[in-house]
Chain A
Amino acid sequence: MAEKKVDVLIIGSGHTGGMAAKILTEKGIAVTMLDAGPMLNFERDRTLKPASTLPFRGLDAPGRHPHIFQASEFSANQWVDEKVIPYNYPAGQQYNWVRIRSVGGRSPFWGRQSFRHSDLEFKCKDHDGFGENWPISYKDLVPFYDRVEPIFRVQGHTDHIPNYPDGKFIEDNAPWSGAMQRFVDAGKKMGVPVTKARSALGSGGLASSLNLLIPDAVATGKLTTIPNSIVRQITVDKNTGKADGAIFIDRHSHREMTIKARVVIVAAGTLETTRLLLISGICNSSGVLGHYLCDQIYGAGIAASVPEARGGKTGRNVTGGGALIPRFRNVDVKVPGYLRGYAVNVSSSTGPMDARWFPEYGPALDAKLDEYNGSGFTTNIMGETLGHYENHVALNKQVVDAWGMPTLTISTTYGDNEKNMAKDMVDTTAAMAEAAGFDVLVKNYEFNPPGYSIHEQGTARMGDNPKTSIVNKWNQSHDVKNLFITDASVFVSAGWQNPTITMSALAMRASEYLAEEMRKGNI
Chain B
Amino acid sequence: MKRREFVKGLVVATAAAGTAIGQQKAPPQAKNPVPGNVIDQGSQAVAPNNASAPAATAQLQQQAAFHTPNIPVTQPDVVATTDARYFTAARYATLARLCEVFVPAGNGYPSALQADTPQFLDFHVGGSPADRQAMYNDGLDRLNADAMKQFSVAFAKTDAKQADAVIRPALKGWINDHPPVDKQQRFVALAHREIRTATLNSPAWAVAAEAAGERTPGIGQYWAPIDPGIETWVSHGATKASAPLTRQAHS
Contact = CB atoms under 8 A, between A and B. Distances in A.
Interface in B208-251: 216-227, 229-231, 233-234, 238-243, 246
12 contacts: A47-B221, A48-B219, A49-B220, A58-B197, A58-B220, A255-B242, A299-B178, A356-B193, A400-B239, A402-B230, A442-B174, A452-B177
A358 B173 contact: yes
Contacts of B22: none
B241 A361 contact: no
A214 B125 CA distance: 44
Interface string B153-184: 00000000000000110011111111001000
Given A52-B206, A403-B241, A44 B224 contact: yes
A355 interface: yes
The DSSP consensus for interface residues of chain A is loop
A95 to B, nearest CB: 15
B148 interface: no
Given A52-B203, A53-B75, A356-B193, A363 B106 contact: yes
A252 B241 CA distance: 11
B103 interface: yes
Nearest to B196: A355
Interface stretch (A70-78, A160-168, A189-197, A495-503): A70-78
A297 to B, nearest CB: 12
A74 B223 contact: yes
Interface of B: 75, 101-104, 106, 120, 124-125, 127-129, 132, 167-168, 171-178, 181, 189, 192-194, 196-198, 201-203, 205-206, 216-227, 229-231, 233-234, 238-243, 246
Given A62-B127, A63-B129, A77-B223, A52 B201 contact: yes
Contacts of A252: 229, 233
Contacts of A61: 127
Contacts of A402: 230, 233-234, 239
Interface in A347-372: 354-363, 366
A39 B227 contact: yes
A315 interface: no
B229 to A, nearest CB: 5
Contacts of B216: 50, 52
B215 to A, nearest CB: 10
Chain B CB count within 10 A is highest, among A48, A52, A302, for A52
A425 to B, nearest CB: 13
B120 to A, nearest CB: 6
Interface residues of A, number: 70
User: Which of B124, B239, B241 has the largest number of chain A CB atoms within 10 A?
Assistant: B241
Interface string A302-335: 1100000000000000000000000000000000
Q: Which of B206, B222, B230 has most A Cβ within 10 Å?
A: B222
Interface in A35-87: 37-40, 44-54, 56-59, 61-63, 66, 69, 72-78, 81, 83-84
Given A52-B202, A57-B120, A403 B220 contact: no
A59 B60 CA distance: 40
Interface string A395-423: 00000111110000000000000000000
Contacts of A358: 173
Given A50-B206, A52-B205, A361 B192 contact: yes
Contacts of B129: 62-63, 66
A423 B220 CA distance: 35
Contacts of A256: 241-243, 246
Given A48-B221, A50-B206, A74-B221, A444 B176 contact: yes
> Which of B176, B216, B239 lies at the interface centre, i.e. has the most chain A CB atoms within 10 A of its CB?
B176
A254 interface: yes
B26 to A, nearest CB: 31
B219 A49 contact: yes
Given A357-B175, A404-B241, A441-B173, A47 B201 contact: no
Contacts of B238: 254
A77 B227 CA distance: 10
Contacts of B127: 61-63
A301 B233 CA distance: 43
A391 interface: no
Interface in A437-456: 441-442, 444, 446, 448, 452
A307 B198 CA distance: 31
A63 B126 CA distance: 11
B206 A46 contact: no
A69 B177 contact: yes
A378 interface: yes
